[in-house]
Amino acid sequence: MGVLTRAEPATAEPSRPVKTRRRPDLRRWISPVALIAVWQIASATGLLPPDKLSSPWTVLQAGIEVARSGELGEAFAVSLGRVGAGFALGAVAGVLLGIVSGLSRWGEALVDPPVQMLRTLPFLGLIPLFILWFGIGEETKIVLVALGVAFPLYLNVHSGIRSADADLVEASRALGFTRAERLWDVVLPGALPQTLVGLRQSLGLAWLALIVGETVNADAGVGYLINNAREFLRTDVVVVGLILYALLGLVTDALVRLLERRALRWR
């Protein structure tokens, strides 16, 4: 008789999470494509005169024209440099002021009132004063962008710090964390989601502030390209400049959302 042996149980391999790719929602393209189609039909039938707004096909041709001539690339580089410099200044100021105001009652009492007053001032109202202070050069445009960046970041950093989880802060205090360790390991990570929301808002306002600065007084940049086209009644080039502003805003917002997904992976 054969000897019956007990079969060894098979060891199951640990299951690995299956990554599913999120497919783009094509429904989001329905309304933009429909609007462009209606725009083209209205232009082709004469309902929309070309001196009021050029057709999408004419705008596309104008974009290719200014891109080939080098005007679009030069204007893009100048505007991007202004936004970069203004964003750096505004981000540092907004984050530092938000931390000071969020961590200290005295800091809030001293910092918050003037910031709340300044953030309600319109950009156009500040331009004459900035021209008197900084002249008609690059400084006025950079300071306008910095103001547009600083205020949303300040508000969100301040709110994020004040809404930190009190239980976590108390637990870190009970575990013997120093004040600096509590700030670095508990308070600031808790304020990061709100700070990234402020970053997205500030980038949108940065481009808005740049549009104001470049269309009022500029000799280069996308705003100058738009103003120059307006003088010659080139509505197609005006729309090209506006589309470039919109695309730059969308790209910077997408970059912040990517940063948000990576930085908040721990959540």
3-state secondary structure 22-78: CCCCHHHHHHHHHHHHHHHHHHHCCCCCCCCCCCHHHHHHHHHHHHHHCHHHHHHHH
Provide the token pair at 55.
């057709």
Interval 191-235: pLDDT, tens: 777 778 888 888 888 888 888 877 766 777 788 888 888 878 788
Provide the token pair at 8.
């060894």
Distance CA 209, CA 122 (A): 10
* Domain 54-263 CATH (choose: 1.20.1330.10, 1.10.287.1770, 1.10.3720.10, 3.40.50.1220): 1.10.3720.10
pLDDT score for 186:
66
Distance CA 214, CA 144 (A): 10
Residue 130, amino acid: F
pLDDT score for 8:
46
Around 15, how many Cα atoms within 13 Å sit in the side-chain half-sphere? 3
Q: Where are the domains of the chain?
A: 54-263
pLDDT score for 29:
77
Angle (nearest 5°) at CA 58 between 55 and 61: 150
Please list, in sequence order, all residues whose beta carbon lies within 8 angstroms of the beta carbon of residue 177, skipping any fewer than 6 positions away.
185, 186
Task: List the end-to-end C-alpha distance of the chain, in Å, as a whole number.
Answer: 62
Q: What is the pTM of this model?
A: 0.73
pLDDT score for 15:
52
| CA atoms 212, 213, 215, 220: torsion sign | negative
Interval 142-195: pLDDT, tens: 888 888 888 888 888 888 777 766 666 666 666 666 666 666 666 666 677 777
Interval 247-256: pLDDT, tens: 887 888 788 7
Q: How many C-beta atoms lie closer than 10 Å to residue 159's C-beta? A: 16
Distance CA 264, CA 267 (A): 6
How confident is the model over 91-97, as a mean pLDDT? 89
Interval 9-61: pLDDT, tens: 444 455 555 555 666 667 777 887 888 888 888 888 888 888 788 888 888 88
Range from 95-99, 118-122, 173-177, 215-219 carrying the lowest mean pLDDT? 173-177
Quick one: which of 239, 227, 228, 222 has its CA closest to 48? 239
Distance CA 199, CA 217 (A): 27
pLDDT score for 3:
47
pLDDT score for 241:
85
Angle (nearest 5°) at CA 243 between 91 and 21: 75
Listed in order, strand segments (DSSP E) in the chain are: none
